[in-house]
Structure 1
Amino acid sequence: MSTVREIALSELERDALTELVNIGVSRAASSLRKMIGEEVLLSVPSVEIMAPDDAVRLIGERETDELVAIQQQFEGAFSGQALLIFPQTISLDLVRAIIGEDVPPDQLSEMEQEALAETGNVILNGCLATMANMLKRSLNISLPEVVRGDGSRLFKLMQPRPDDGLVLFLYINFSVRNRDIRGYIAMLMDLPSLAALKELIAGFIHRVVGDEA
């Protein structure tokens, strides 16, 4: 059975992972800025490793609306599934920030799916590819898929078998066109993948700070 203790990160490893993710989302923000022609700010203030049930509980405590998620699989030195998650109401706000306020309501729903998929693709690809590059590895990342439901349904999609892995859970803050938009990135990885990621992070720390780490 997967336990968080088996793969716990030290404070230095957590700081390094947070920095890697922040660099990744910063690059994703730059790509989004080019796409929509407006400044986009993204930050990841917290990174946690937890059991899927705990991730469901956490997001359920924070969000009561139905959730919208963009899902992608990644394979390589570490593998798993990634979700970029927004509450439904916030996802509509994000879509309007991306495609503009002058889109008629009847066209908004038609454009929402495509806009969300493209946004998720930019953010998840930017985050995952940058992390892999800085860890001196590469990843293959699937095309995005938009899924909807509550936290339990989303994480069940990620985790077809019980106790199959742990979730790397990231809280993210957006600012697009003066809108504050919150969301989450969740990456489900099995223990071997998380162990591989932990080892790569240790190598990254050694390259950056040397033997003092």
Structure 2
Amino acid sequence: MIEFSELERDALAEAFNLSLGEAAATFSTMVHEEIELSVPTVEVVSHADFVSQVESLLHKTRNMRVASISQCFESDAGFDTRTFLLFPEQGSLEIVRRMLGDDTPIEQITELEQDALAEIGNVIINSCMSSLANLFGARLEGTLPLVETATSSTLLRDRAPDAVMLVARITMSMSAHDISGLVLFVMDVPSLTKFMQELRRVFRMDD
């Protein structure tokens, strides 16, 4: 498993912390509620550990379903990432209600839920990635948001069971409604190698 030095961990946390600040402010405006961010944690984990961590962080049982908004990004700096915004399935409806207004009929909210979640994910994820692109002076191209309901074990079903990945994890909480979401940046080892090269350059760790 890849290990980071303390300096590298601090630089990673700072990079992702910067990328989430503006996104959280935008999300707060969308749902009309203050959003609280946790301190970022960054580590390289196995697929099995990733599944366990998502289950644990959502405080749900093993097959609890989550609402997932994800986008894939390619960078001209040589790294690719898949970024997720996750909410417990039962909490996603409340988020959409807050976004559309509490007086919106429940039937209309249900019909618009996927589109609203896609909009929320698009704003938050693209804000994060634009911040990283600006930090590195790189260009990032992303796919359209993919909204799906999944279990923690099927979120990365396209990854090999023995794959390892970088996971930068930040919890976004709507305290008044006790709803927590997770922002996850997932990279494979080749992308992680290029990403760390860019990070060392920006934070002058090779000087």
More displaced 10-residue stretch of structure 1: 105-114 or 12-21: 12-21
1:51 to partner: Cα distance = 1.4
In 2: Cα distance, 1:141 partner to 1:40 partner: 28
Residue of structure 2 in register with 1:104 after alignment:
105
User: Does the 8 A contact of 1:22 with 1:44 survive in 2?
Assistant: no
Residue of structure 2 in register with 1:121 after alignment:
122
In 2: Cα distance, 1:175 partner to 1:87 partner: 13
Q: Which runs of 5+ in 1 are unaligned?
A: none
1:162 to partner: Cα distance = 3.8
User: Does the 8 A contact of 1:165 with 1:188 survive in 2?
Assistant: no
Deviation string 1:152-194 (CA, Å, 9 cap, x unpaired) is 111214x2x3434414141312337x43431212233221100
Query: Which amino acid is the alignment partner of residue 41 of structure 1?
Result: I
In 1: Cα distance, 2:51 partner to 2:28 partner: 31
Q: 2:24 aligns with which of 26, 29, 54?
A: 29
The alignment's C-alpha RMSD in Å is 2.2
1:34 to partner: Cα distance = 5.0
1:39 to partner: Cα distance = 5.0
Residue of structure 2 in register with 1:201 after alignment:
199
Query: Which amino acid is the alignment partner of residue 121 of structure 1?
Result: N
In 2: Cα distance, 1:144 partner to 1:26 partner: 20
Q: Percent identity at matched positions?
A: 33
In 2: Cα distance, 1:42 partner to 1:127 partner: 16
1:20 to partner: Cα distance = 1.8
Residue of structure 1 in register with 2:94 after alignment:
93
Query: Is 1:183 matched with 2:181?
Result: yes
Q: Which runs of 5+ in 2 are unaligned?
A: none
Residue of structure 2 in register with 1:58 after alignment:
53
Structure 1 residues 172 and 39 mapped into 2: Cα distance closer, same or farther (>3 Å)?
same
Deviation string 1:38-94 (CA, Å, 9 cap, x unpaired) is 354342423232112101012223323311100111001210322111111221221
User: Does the 8 A contact of 2:12 with 2:42 survive in 1?
Assistant: no
In 1: Cα distance, 2:134 partner to 2:20 partner: 13
1:143 to partner: Cα distance = 0.7
Residue of structure 1 in register with 2:66 after alignment:
67
**Higher fraction of helix:** 1
Q: Provide the secondary structure at the position in 1 that maps to 2:186.
A: strand
User: Does the 8 A contact of 2:47 with 2:163 survive in 1?
Assistant: no
Residue of structure 2 in register with 1:148 after alignment:
149
User: Does the 8 A contact of 2:167 with 2:184 survive in 1?
Assistant: yes
Residue of structure 2 in register with 1:168 after alignment:
167
Following TM superposition, the consecutive aligned residue runs of length 4 or more in structure 1 with deviations greater than 6 angstroms are: none
Q: 2:41 aligns with which of 24, 47, 50?
A: 47
Q: 1:18 aligns with which of 13, 21, 27?
A: 13
Query: Is 1:133 matched with 2:134?
Result: yes
Tell me the matched-pair count: 200
